[in-house]
Structure formats: structure tokens, C-alpha cells
């Protein structure tokens, strides 16, 4: 394996409060302040959210999905259309996952071996094989700033032997991803790319430790905690996150894959996580549910039909500054597109403000009280 260093964007931890961290990640497309929640644009768009609006409300990094884009419209097509930034209309940093989670969610039809995973497309049933090398090639064509190693993500409840096998395979695939990335010059079609290794191991501390040790030896510029939020109990998720984060290098960004509820974000920040993503805020918005300081608010409930109150009194989002709960409920019940847009806007603004407040509290050494206050409000 090549001993060459992987491309890395400068990252500084500016303050620590307990295990919680506030930092800055300097990319060619702008500075990202951490902790940072990253909205998910699975198929090349954050549903119902124009890119200019995402920028206006504070998005720092947005995500796209390698699995879906590689199949539709195809990574080569995205590259021919100017690369993912042009394709998505977004001039800030983008992160693409490797497609591993989506591939392994097709466990009933996927065939795993040491080379990779063979599966059938959810779109047309065509047969495909994803290997570490193909995951790197697809992400290189897409041209995101942050890219992920191809890993094996076992489901919650998998046997210890299955999780141990996934850890071994994930490390071997990470080495192949690293080599392929270096051979390609560490860059995609649209500039340098920072490659993250992904820690697996389920809720088994010894397997998590082994996974961290194997990946750290490969010297990735960033590390993700994978294989959680896939069905295990929240307490076990948090204990494993805390244990794993403490093992990771202090000078590298830490990314928890797949958490996006307000309480979960604060719990992850408390345990030393810098980056996180989830489809939850926009998904529940399309179901008529809004995040508020007091908890989730379901606009389908009849009690909101004639309410003149905003979703939240002090929220600067488009929904709260222009519409009543009663009007928003009507839009939701009638499946008006505007209603879905407004609730998506609100939920993302809510999370961005929550995380911005957490960062400010870390810088001022009062994260614990900030978290307790937010938790008390939601009870």
C-alpha cells in the first residue's frame, strides 16, 4: 500500500467543553463551522429546498448519494453536466457517501464477497457490482469535496461474528479505497477530495476499538462513525458513540452518519461529534410534522385548524414569519407543495439554530447548561 498522504482540508478545534468541540473546517469552497448539521440531497436535491435558500438559512455542507446518482442519471452524466456542484446548483462543499448503506439495505438480493457487493438496481432490476474501486471512481466523477470509503454496514441485531467479519472487510476495503484515491491524484473532476474512513463494529466495544485502530493506521484525514442509527436502542447508540469518538484522533473531524433529531444532535455533540446528517427534518416535514422547542408538532391534528399562532414565536423561517398554524395545516392536509416547502424550511432552520447555539455555548464554556435548558423545554 502506498505511504503517500491523503489530501486533507485544514481543520482546527477552537474550543472544547467536556467532550463537545467547536471547530473550523477550511475547504476550497468556504469555511465550515462545526458542529455542523448537513442536509441530505439524496438524488441531487434537498427535497423542496432551493440551494439559495439553503445557503441563506445557514447550510454549510450538503450531501448527495452515490448509489442513487450512479444509477440515475449516472455519474458520467453528472460529470458531463459540469459536475455535482453545477448539477445541484450549489457552490459550497458537498459530501457524497459511498453507496454502502444503500447497497447493504438490499440484503435480500445483495451478494457480498471480498471483492465487493453485487445487487440489482431498485430502478430497473439491472445487475451491478460495487467494489471499493468503483465507489471511488463514481465519487471521483461526481466531484464532491468530501467522499467516503466503501464499507460494510451490518444491520442492528447482526451476530457478533457477522459484525466482526464486517469490521475486517471494512478495513480491507478502506485500504483499497485509499490506494485508488491516491492513484487518482486525490482529486475528482471538480477539485481535491477529502476521504473519510468509516468505523464499524456494532455496539461491541472491542470490535469498535479494532476498527478504529485499523483505520487510524491508514491515516485518513477524517473519520466517520458508521453502523449506528440502523435500529439499535438509542442508549446503546450513544454509549458506543462516546466510546468510539474518544478513540479517534483529536485533530481530525468526526462524522456521525445518520442522526438528525434535535435531542440526538445535542447528544452527539456532547460526545465529541463534529458533523452529522439525516433525511429526518425534510422527511417529517413532508408528513406534516414540525420541530419546535417543546417537541414535535403534528399539523394533521385538528386542534391546529383555526390556530392563529406561528409554529414557533421566535423562529425566523418562512413558515413562522408569514403563516399561521391553521394555514399551514390546510396546506398539509391538501398536499399543497408550498406546505411541504414551508415545513422543510422550518425544520432545517430549527436544527441550524440549535447547532449554532450549541457551538456558541461550547465557545463560551456553557454547553452543559445549554443542553439542559433545551432538554427541559422539550419535556
Q: Which residues are catalytic?
A: 97, 277
Beta-bridge partners for 96: 64, 147
Helix (H) or strand (E) holding 338: helix 337-363
Of the chain, the end-to-end C-alpha distance in Å amounts to 52
Q: Is the dihedral of CA 247, 6, 222, 203 positive or negative?
A: negative
DSSP secondary structure of 131-184: -HHHHHHHHHHHT-SEEE-----PPTT--HHHHHHHHHHHHHHHHHHHHHHHHT
How far apart are the C-alpha atoms of 320 and 299, rounded to whole Å? 13
What cell does 337 get?
Answer: 407543495
136 with 177: CB under 8 angstroms? yes
Where do the DSSP E strands lie in the chain?
A: 11-17, 20-27, 30-34, 36-41, 62-65, 94-97, 111-112, 117-120, 127-130, 146-148, 187-188, 191-192, 194-199, 222-225, 254-257, 275-278, 289-292, 295-298
CA 233 to chain centre: 19
Residues 6+ apart with CB under 8 A from 368: 17, 18
Q: Compute CA distances 369 → 117, 372, 378, whole Å.
A: 46, 5, 14
What cell does 294 get?
Answer: 417543546
Q: What is residue 3's DSSP assignment? A: -
Helix axes 132-142 and 160-183, enclosed angle (nearest 10): 50
Q: Compute CA distances 98 → 9, 261, 264, whole Å.
A: 19, 23, 24
Amino acid at each position: 500500500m502506498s505511504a503517500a498522504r491523503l489530501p486533507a482540508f485544514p481543520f482546527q478545534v477552537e474550543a472544547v467543553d467536556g467532550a463537545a468541540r467547536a471547530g473550523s473546517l477550511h475547504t476550497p469552497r468556504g469555511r465550515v463551522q462545526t458542529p455542523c448539521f448537513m442536509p441530505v440531497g439524496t438524488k441531487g436535491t434537498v427535497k423542496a429546498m432551493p440551494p439559495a435558500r439553503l445557503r441563506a438559512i445557514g447550510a454549510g455542507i450538503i450531501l448527495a448519494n452515490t448509489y442513487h446518482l450512479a444509477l440515475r442519471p449516472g455519474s458520467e452524466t453528472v460529470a458531463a453536466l459540469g459536475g455535482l456542484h453545477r448539477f445541484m446548483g450549489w457552490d459550497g462543499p458537498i459530501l457524497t457517501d459511498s453507496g454502502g448503506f444503500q447497497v447493504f439495505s438490499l440484503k435480500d438480493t445483495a451478494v457480498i464477497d471480498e471483492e465487493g457487493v453485487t445487487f440489482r438496481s431498485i430502478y430497473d432490476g439491472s445487475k451491478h457490482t460495487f467494489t471499493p474501486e468503483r465507489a471511488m471512481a463514481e465519487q471521483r466523477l461526481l466531484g464532491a469535496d468530501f467522499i467516503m470509503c466503501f464499507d460494510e454496514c451490518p444491520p442492528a441485531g447482526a451476530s457478533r461474528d457477522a459484525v466482526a467479519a464486517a469490521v475486517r472487510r471494512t478495513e480491507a476495503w478502506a485500504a483499497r479505497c485509499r490506494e485508488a484515491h491516491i492513484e487518482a491524484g486525490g482529486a475528482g473532476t471538480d477539485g481535491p477530495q477529502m476521504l473519510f474512513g468509516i468505523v464499524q463494529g456494532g455496539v461491541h466495544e472491542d470490535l469498535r476499538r479494532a476498527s478504529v485502530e485499523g483505520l487510524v493506521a491508514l491515516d485518513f484525514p477524517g473519520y466517520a462513525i458508521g453502523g449506528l442509527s440502523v435500529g439499535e436502542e438509542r442508549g446503546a447508540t450513544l454509549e458506543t458513540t462516546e466510546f468510539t469518538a474518544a478513540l479517534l484522533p483529536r485533530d481530525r473531524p468526526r462524522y456521525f452518519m445518520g442522526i438528525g433529531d434535535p435531542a440526538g444532535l445535542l447528544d452527539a455533540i456532547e460526545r465529541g461529534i463534529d458533523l452529522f446528517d439525516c433525511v429526518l427534518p425534510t422527511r417529517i416535514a413532508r408528513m406534516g410534522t414540525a420541530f419546535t422547542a417543546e417537541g414535535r408538532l403534528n399539523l394533521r391534528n385538528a386542534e391546529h385548524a383555526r390556530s392563529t399562532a406561528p409554529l414557533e414565536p421566535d423562529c425566523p423561517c418562512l413558515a413562522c414569519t408569514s403563516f399561521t398554524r391553521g394555514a399551514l395545516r390546510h396546506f398539509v392536509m391538501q398536499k399543497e407543495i408550498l406546505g411541504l416547502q414551508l415545513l422543510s424550511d422550518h425544520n432545517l432552520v430549527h436544527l441550524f439554530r440549535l447547532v449554532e447555539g450549541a457551538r456558541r455555548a461550547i465557545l463560551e464554556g456553557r454547553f452543559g447548561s445549554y443542553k439542559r435548558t433545551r432538554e427541559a423545554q422539550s419535556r
